[in-house]
Structure 1
């Protein structure tokens, strides 16, 4: 069973309409007494019914069977994918991990999810879960639904073929996919293996940031976001529906594919974005700007100007600032930063930060370039621009402390000597 992509629609948050069979979409009403082709009408809602029109997110689905048709749920044994961020002391130490170890054969995307850190909870509807995945098998005979939050998938190696209720997303490294809360999906691996990062957003839906003084262009452009056209399968058999609800996984029998939506319209749908299309902003005079200029998407919070989570990237760019320390300066933030490396080398670290690895610098923990990077940048000729190429780093930044999980703190791939990379910083003071 493999659904093929039928193409994409462009734009972010648009009112889309798509039908895999002509005439499947009703005209002039959402829920007619009898839907064409014997389909069921079902609304999938991702916001409060009374949310302002610009923030209201919902889609109408016209499907072969309604989503209510499946067996009873049973609790699954808790694995490495969860929202248990602990209640004990959270260390202020700088943390870094090597890429996940290679999994044994037969591990699909769902079984390959590994929770590194997070904050908040699905119950409180704030915060994030931050996960990695390492998989080498397709999902067969089962589908996954996350009722706790929307999922942002960031492939690091290997392509993902993501079949959802609303259509198909084909995503490769240096692209991202966002799967709305409640949408059922299945993942296959065209390259036979895949690794990457996942941000599970419990708070407000991801949106494009306002541009303010930047103007009407720049950063991520709405037209570069792609939403799938309708595609469906009508398959029967003995299958499983796995649902994540309140931090736990549940399983129910289902005798058909839930990917049976023949047509849909609305603005609550999966989408993908190519990070290489990000229009990088930066200084052309002096100083290194704040990383907020690298913001792709963010989940707003109840505090104006402060996000539940920011998703920023550090893409290829030109550093032209003169008489300026060009790498990120040493800093301590009210926000907490989780970073990953998709490709190449990150310009603030000389070594040790490998593609597929990750780091965590929590609230007010001092960090910045390591000793080797500092020494090199301090004597660089800034009369010439520095072309940073063949790289892609990502950051999930939150207003709350990001708590590492017990399994991540005890992991064999954690770099226990990571803080040592700053120990070579020399005293240059000549009072």
Structure 2
């Protein structure tokens, strides 16, 4: 199935779009009424008085106001877990998972989510949750909204169509999408099934990282982020709206579609990005560059340089450093690293880390190449080489991640992950007298 969609370019700029010509008002020509009798509604994603450079809001012009609903009632949380969680465990042990099992029949986005790890406090708007989804059916009479955080989608298999209040976004493996906090949407399959990763960001909204000495042209460029054109659903009839709020799922019944925005303008909503547009930086001298050089988006914290979460991608790229150990070296880090693999293989693992899998190295968790990779990297001629057919990514966060019972007890968790380093030998050749 193909979907012909249009998008607006640019990250963080003032955008505007209308599905019906004249639906977006300009100036004060009609100060008492929005065009076509629509309701005017503002979405404020930041406090009114936050600094201009981070202040985001959007105006929507819709068929029904969002306030037209019955009370929400608690519903089962399914596989969703939020921080803080009494059942999640903060462990120093290194963890790795095989791809999750294929989804059962009739599982949509809300029911097909499994939380692997959380940190921070959803009530204090700090930290993240990392989920994996496996879905086999589209949402039709159900819609979802996350009031706890924005959602960053990383598809691994199968394409999705995200129908949001601000328009439609189609994403496939190799692309990402971000749905802003409080934005209502539903998820449709563009194939039989789909699996992937979601980072639920409780903290400051994602933004482009500062470039510093890298200069103007490195990493991700603002022009390559795409925002949807306005699209609306004028639909009557009973539908369910599921809201994540305060760490739990709530539901209410509507008599209309919540995706009824005919026009909008502003800086808050939803957007997508093609990871192939990322301009990877690397070293032409020696030593392996820190993974921060691969940051696509960052959610800053109150401590400069310690992100609430960074989203990093490791795409096809040239490796040309000399007099150095080529793969990622043995490492311990004050930051926590959760990695996933979209396609191919990771350059520091010979086997075991496969597309659809995941790994977690909590703060100060020692990790690095396995024995086979170490031996190969120690003896291979250091000529320029291009890493191809590979895309891995990382959620790097300043706090330790607590692992859920579902993830710890999963049948596809590799119980022998520590054996990746069991073949390493003592290495010390003292000088002879």
Both structures adopt the same fold (TM-score exceeding 0.5) = yes
Q: Which residue of 1 aligns with 2:420?
A: 421
**Unaligned runs of at least 5 residues, structure 1:** none
- Partner Cα distance (2:189, 2:315) in 1: 25
SS at match of 2:406: helix
* Displacement of 1:5: 5.5
Offset at 1:88?
7.0
CA shift in 2, pair 1:30/1:419, >3 Å: farther
Report the equivalent of 1:50.
49
Query: Does the residue aligned with 1:54 lie in a helix, a strand or coil?
Result: coil
1:266 aligns with 2:266: yes
Name the residue aligned to 1:292: 292
The structural deviation recorded for 1:90 is 1.9
Aligned-residue offset at 1:373: 0.7
Preserved contact between residue 73 and residue 250 of structure 1 (Cα < 8 Å): yes
Please state if 1:362 is matched with 2:324: no
Q: Does the Cα contact within 8 Å between 1:24 and 1:37 map onto a contact in 2?
A: yes
Asked if 1:108 corresponds to 2:108, the answer is yes
Deviations 1:92-128 (A, max 9, x none): 0110011111121011111111100010122010000
* Match in the other structure for 2:229: 229
Structure 2: stretches of 5+ with no match in the other structure: none
How many pairs align? Answer: 429
The answer for the alignment partner of 1:183 in structure 2 is 183
1:279 aligns with 2:279: yes
Q: Cα distance, 1:395 vs. partner?
A: 0.2
For residue 376 of structure 2, give the secondary structure of its aligned residue in structure 1: helix
d(CA) in 2 for partners of 1:186, 1:220: 27
Classify 1:356/1:255 alpha carbon distance in 2 versus 1 (closer, same or farther; 3 Å): same
Distance in 1 separating the partners of 2:413 and 2:97: 4
Residue correspondence of structure 1 range 3-402 to structure 2 within 5 A:
6-29=5-28, 32-83=31-82, 85-86=85-86, 90-382=90-382, 384-402=383-401
Residues 264-287 of structure 1 show CA distances to partners (whole Å, capped at 9, x for unaligned) of 000112000001110000101111
Give the SS at the match of 2:360: strand
- The TM-score with structure 2 as length reference comes to 0.97
Shift of 1:33: 1.1
SS at match of 2:120: strand
Question: Could you tell me how far 1:204 is from its partner in structure 2?
Answer: 0.2
In the aligned structure 1, how far is the partner of 2:23 from the partner of 2:5?
16
Aligned-pair distance for 1:362?
A: 0.4
Q: Distance in 2 between matches of 1:345 and 1:88?
A: 29
- Cα–Cα, structure 1 residues 219 and 179, in superposed 2: closer, same or farther, change >3 Å? same
* Residue 177 of structure 1, CA deviation: 0.3
Provide the rounded CA distance (Å) in 1 between the counterparts of 2:334 and 2:411.
30
- Determine if contact 2:87/2:404 at 8 Å carries over to the other structure: no
TM-score, normalisation: structure 1 = 0.97
Contact 2:240 2:251 in 1 (8 A): yes
- The 1-side partners of 2:141 and 2:303 are apart by 43
SS at match of 2:127: strand
